[in-house]
Amino acid sequence: MNQRGFGYIEIVIVLAVVAAAGYLLMQYFTTTAKTVERMRQDRPLERTRLAADQATLTAVQGLVRTYQAEKGQYPPDKAAVVGLLVSPPKFQCPGNDFEYDPATGALSLTITDDSRC
């Protein structure tokens, strides 16, 4: 018998190889999508920016405490706090700033959620 063409075994082997390759590609893309989603949820850069802003605020808070220790009272307003600095604070989160309460000398950031950085 000298017949041409593919037999059932050859066709089944090719289908099995194609199915295995398709399965591996699907697993790869699913894993990649999960990794990208996890990175978006973790937001390492945004957390770093917010941490830098909090460190800047801590430094300004130290100046306010020094002012209070020297003068016996807190600075009267936010402009006086900014006047204590060599230059206005540069926050890493776009649009971030600080709020000042002259009664207590407390400072707080306007943006405290890292998803907004």
Residue 2: per-residue pLDDT = 65
Per-residue pLDDT in tens (0 to 9) along the chain, 117 residues: 566 777 889 999 999 999 999 999 999 988 988 888 887 777 777 788 889 999 999 999 999 999 999 999 999 999 999 999 988 899 998 889 999 999 999 999 998 887 787
pLDDT of residue 36: 82
The span from the CA of 91 to the CA of 48, in Å, is: 12
Verdict on whether the full-model pTM lies above 0.85: no
What was the pLDDT predicted at 104?
93
Contact 60, 91 (CB under 8 A): no
Looking at residue 41, its pLDDT comes to 73
| pLDDT recorded at residue 98 | 94
Long-range contact set of residues 41-47: C-beta below 8 Å, sequence gap at least 24: 43/114, 43/115, 43/117, 45/117, 46/93, 46/114, 46/115, 46/117, 47/114
Q: How far apart are CA 54 and CA 108, in angstroms?
A: 9
CA distance 51 to 109: 11
Residue 3 is predicted with a pLDDT of 67
- Name the token pair of 14: 């090719």
Residue 46 tokens read as: 């945004």
State the number of CA atoms in the 13 A half-sphere of 8 facing the CB.
Answer: 0
What is the amino acid identity at position 10? E
